[in-house]
Every structure is written in C-alpha cells, then in structure tokens.
Amino acid sequence: MLSYKARRRLSLLILLVGLPLYIVVAVNVIALFDRPSILVEVLVYVSLGVLWAFPFKYVFRGVGQADPDQD
C-alpha cells in the first residue's frame, strides 16, 4: 500500500509525464488509419481520454484531500 506522499508524487509523475506520452501515442495510432469522420474521431478521443485513468484510480483517490496521516 502506497503512502499518501508516494501517491501524490506518483500522481504528479503520471499527469506530467505519462499523460502527455499517452496523448502522443493515441494521436499517432489514430493517424495510422484513414481519417474517420469527425464524430467518430471525437468519440475515439473521448473514450481514450476516459480509459487512461482507470488503471490509476487507486493512485488518484484522495490525493486532493489533506494528508490523513498528518496531525
């Protein structure tokens, strides 16, 4: 189980490094195919935008709150 500080640091790393890399990869994967209609393209990007967060749900949970271990 990760401590609160470790989760905060990991979430910051994910948001500053992982998310931009994920965006670049998603755009490049979509660019491999013929460009779909704008509605399909928006639907793909929205679904990919939601799907990236599910594996990190535990890391982000409670990070915006006060440190529970602090007196």
Say what the pLDDT of residue 61 is: 85
Domain extents for the chain? Answer: 4-58
Contact 45, 26 (CB under 8 A): yes
Show the tokens assigned to 63.
């990070």
Cα–Cα distance between 10 and 27 in angstroms, integer? 24
Please choose, from the candidates 34, 31, 25, the residue with its C-alpha nearest in 3D space to the C-alpha of residue 52: 25
Say what the pLDDT of residue 71 is: 65
Say what the pLDDT of residue 64 is: 82
Contact 69, 4 (CB under 8 A): yes
Count of Cβ atoms closer than 10 Å to residue 23 Cβ: 14
Say what the pLDDT of residue 15 is: 92
Say what the pLDDT of residue 63 is: 84
Q: What is the pLDDT along the chain (71 residues), one digit of tens a residue?
A: 888 888 899 999 999 999 999 999 888 988 888 988 899 889 988 998 889 888 888 888 888 888 887 76
